[in-house]
C-alpha cells in the first residue's frame, strides 16, 4: 500500500460535508439528464504528472514523496511499484479511466526492441490490474518529445530516420492501446513545430506531418482499432511555434490533407488559454466543426504564460465548457482526463487525492449547472431570438443563394432599409449563468 492515509475509497457525502477527502458534488450513480454522472464525465487520471513526475522544475530537484520513483531500484522493479501505486490510487479515487504514454508505464532502453519488450510485459500486468479494479483505458499515447532524438521534431524532423523511429514507436503504442481496450489514441505534437524559420522548411514539415497522420490512420484500420484518433492542439511550449496551434488550425490542416474524418481533437484547458482563447471557445469550435473528441481537464494561472496544468477549480468556466459538450451530444469515446500537476510544494502523497477531489467535484457541479441550462433552454432561447431574422424571408433567401450584391443593394434602396442596433445583453446573460451556478443543487 502506498496511500495509507486513505483507507477507504473516496465517498460522496454531499455539499454540506467538510471532509476534504469526500466528494461534495461527484455522486457517480446520480442520473443527470440521460446518463449517470460517471458516464457523462468519463473521468480519467493520468500516469505521467501524477505518478512519473517527482516535483522537479527547471530550477530545482524533485520535492514529492514518491517511493516508486527511487532511482536506485532496477527500472522494471520500479515500474511495477509505480503501477501498483497507480492502480491503488485509481481504485481509491474512483476515476473510471486512466491514460498513459508508452514510457510512463515502461522504462525506455537504448534498444527499441528492448523498450517494446518492457512495455509489453508491463501492459500484460496492467491488463490484470484493469480486470481486478474495473478501471479502463481512456487513451494511450507515445512520448515523442522527451528523448534528445526528437529535439527537432518527430514526424516533422529534418531526418527521415527520426520519422521512422517515431513511426515504429507510435505503431507499438497503438498496438498496446488496442490490446488494453483503449477508447482513444492521442497524438500531442510537442516538438512538431519550430524554433526559428532560419533552419525550417514549413512546406516540407507540413507534408511530413500529413504523411505521418495518414500512416497512423491506415494502421488503425489495419489492426481493427475502433477507438478515436485525437490530436491535441497547443500553440507553443516546448517549441516556439507548434503546428497544432488551436482547434481551428488543426481543423484546417485536417481538411487540407483529407484527414477530417479520421481525427478528432483532445482539447486541453491550459492550451486553449495559451492560444489566447477561452477554453469554451475551443470546445465550441470543435463541436461546430464536428471534430470534438476529448478533454484534458486542467487550467493555467491567470498571470503566468505557460502550461502550469493546475487542477480545474472554476465551476463557471467548466459549466460553459460542459454545456457546449452536452449541446453537442456529450462525450462519445472521450472524457475528462486530468492532465494535471500538483504545485511543487504539495509534497505529500495524499495531496494527489486533494487535487483530484477538487477537479472531480468542480466537473460534477459544472455538469449539474450545464444540464440545468440545457433543460431550461436558457441560452438557446437567447440565440434563437437573436438570429431570428435569418429564418425569415430575407435571411433565408440570402443563405439560399438567391441574392448577389446588386440585388441586395436594390432591396436596401427599395425598402429604404435602416436596421436599428439591438442590445447584445452580455451582462444580463452573465448574470443568468451566475444564477444557475448559485442555485444548482
Ligand atoms: C503537454 C500535453 C501532454 C499531452 C500528452 O502539454 O498536455 O501532457 O496531453 O502527451
Ligand atoms: Ni494534455
Ligand atoms: Ni499540456
The CATH number of residue 218's host domain is: 3.20.20.150
Is residue 123 one of the residues assigned to a domain? yes
Ligand 1 atom closest to the Cα of residue 266 is 9
Atom of ligand 1 nearest to the CA of 307: 6
Number of CB atoms found within 10 A of residue 346's CB: 17
Kindly state whether residues 356 and 392 are assigned to the same domain. Answer: no
Look at residue 6 and tell me if it is in a domain: no
Q: What is the pLDDT along the chain (441 residues), one digit of tens a residue?
A: 999 999 999 999 999 999 999 999 999 999 999 999 999 999 999 999 999 999 999 999 999 999 999 989 999 999 999 999 999 999 999 999 999 999 999 999 999 999 999 999 999 999 999 999 999 999 999 999 999 999 999 999 999 999 999 999 999 999 999 999 999 999 999 999 999 999 999 999 999 999 999 999 999 999 999 999 999 999 999 999 999 999 999 999 999 999 999 999 999 999 999 999 999 999 999 999 999 999 999 999 989 989 999 999 999 999 999 999 999 999 999 999 999 999 999 999 999 999 999 999 999 999 999 999 999 998 999 999 999 999 999 999 999 999 999 999 999 999 999 999 999 999 999 999 999 999 999
Pocket around ligand 1: residues whose beta carbon is below 6 Å from it?
141, 188, 190, 232, 234, 268, 296, 307, 339
321 domain-assigned: yes
Look at residue 129 and tell me if it is in a domain.
yes
In a domain, residue 35? The reply is yes
* 44 found inside a domain: yes
Structural domain contains residue 332: yes
- pLDDT for res 348: 97
366 and 390 in a common domain: no
Structural domain for 419, as ranges:
380-439
Active-site positions read: 101, 104
Task: Note whether 347 and 385 are same-domain residues.
Answer: no
Same domain? For 339 and 312 the reply is yes
217/235 same-domain check: yes
- List the one residue out of 437, 315, 431, 324 whose CA is nearest residue 372: 437
For ligand 1, atom 4, the nearest C-alpha belongs to 188
Residues 257 and 394 in one domain: no
pLDDT of residue 63: 98
274 & 367 share domain: yes
Where is the domain boundary, 342, 375, 408?
375
| Total domain count, the chain | 2
> Is 385 found in the same domain as 361?
no
Distance 267 CA to ligand 1 centre (A): 10
Q: How far, in Å, is the centroid of ligand 2 from the Cα of 296?
A: 5
Same domain flag for 368 and 389: no
Same domain, 110 and 88: yes
Minimum-distance ligand to the CA of 296? 2
State whether 122 and 188 are in the same domain.
Answer: yes
Residues 323 and 400 in one domain: no
Amino acid at each position: 500500500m502506498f496511500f495509507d492515509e486513505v483507507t477507504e475509497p473516496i465517498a460522496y457525502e454531499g455539499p454540506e460535508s467538510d471532509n476534504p477527502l469526500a466528494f461534495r458534488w461527484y455522486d457517480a450513480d446520480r442520473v443527470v439528464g440521460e446518463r449517470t454522472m460517471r458516464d457523462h464525465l468519463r473521468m480519467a487520471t493520468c500516469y505521467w504528472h501524477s505518478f512519473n513526475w517527482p516535483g522537479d522544475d527547471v530550477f530545482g530537484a524533485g520535492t514529492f514523496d514518491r517511493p516508486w520513483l527511487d532511482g536506485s531500484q532496477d527500472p522494471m522493479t520500479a515500474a511495477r511499484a509505480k503501477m501498483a501505486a497507480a492502480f491503488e490510487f485509481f481504485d481509491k479515487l474512483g476515476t473510471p479511466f486512466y491514460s498513459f504514454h508508452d514510457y510512463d508505464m515502461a522504462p525506455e532502453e537504448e534498444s527499441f526492441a528492448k523498450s517494446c519488450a518492457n512495455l509489453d510485459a508491463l501492459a500484460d500486468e496492467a491488463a490484470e490490474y484493469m480486470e481486478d479494479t474495473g478501471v479502463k483505458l481512456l487513451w494511450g499515447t507515445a512520448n515523442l518529445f522527451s528523448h534528445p532524438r526528437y529535439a527537432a521534431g518527430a514526424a516533422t524532423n529534418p531526418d527521415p530516420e527520426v520519422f521512422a523511429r517515431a513511426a515504429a514507436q507510435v505503431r507499438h503504442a497503438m498496438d498496446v492501446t488496442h490490446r488494453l481496450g483503449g477508447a482513444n489514441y492521442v497524438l500531442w505534437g510537442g516538438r512538431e513545430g519550430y524554433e526559428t524559420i532560419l533552419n525550417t522548411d514549413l512546406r516540407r514539415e507540413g507534408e511530413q506531418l500529413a504523411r505521418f497522420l495518414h500512416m497512423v490512420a491506415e494502421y488503425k484500420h489495419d489492426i481493427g482499432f475502433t477507438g478515436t484518433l485525437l490530436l491535441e492542439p497547443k500553440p507553443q511550449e516546448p517549441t516556439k511555434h507548434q503546428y497544432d496551434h488551436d482547434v481551428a488550425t488543426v481543423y484546417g490542416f485536417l481538411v487540407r490533407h483529407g484527414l477530417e474524418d479520421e481525427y478528432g481533437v483532445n482539447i486541453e484547458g491550459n492550451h486553449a488559454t495559451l492560444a489566447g482563447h477561452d477554453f469554451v471557445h475551443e470546445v465550441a469550435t470543435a463541436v461546430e466543426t464536428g471534430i470534438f473528441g476529448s478533454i484534458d481537464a486542467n487550467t493555467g494561472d491567470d498571470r503566468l504564460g505557460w502550461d502550469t496544468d493546475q487542477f480545474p477549480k472554476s465551476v463557471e468556466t467548466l459549466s460553459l465548457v460542459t454545456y457546449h459538450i452536452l449541446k453537442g451530444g456529450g462525450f462519445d469515446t472521450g472524457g475528462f482526463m486530468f492532465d494535471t500537476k500538483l504545485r511543487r510544494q504539495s509534497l505529500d502523497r495524499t495531496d494527489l487525492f486533494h487535487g483530484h477531489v477538487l477537479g472531480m467535484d468542480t466537473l460534477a457541479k459544472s455538469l449539474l449547472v450545464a444540464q440545468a441550462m440545457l433543460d431550461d433552454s436558457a441560452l438557446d432561447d437567447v440565440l434563437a431570438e437573436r438570429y431570428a431574422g435569418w429564418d425569415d424571408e430575407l435571411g433565408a433567401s440570402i443563405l439560399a443563394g438567391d441574392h448577389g450584391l446588386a440585388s441586395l443593394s436594390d432591396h436596401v434602396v427599395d425598402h429604404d432599409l435602416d436596421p436599428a442596433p439591438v442590445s447584445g445583453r452580455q451582462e444580463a446573460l452573465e448574470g443568468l449563468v451566475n444564477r444557475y451556478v448559485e442555485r444548482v443543487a
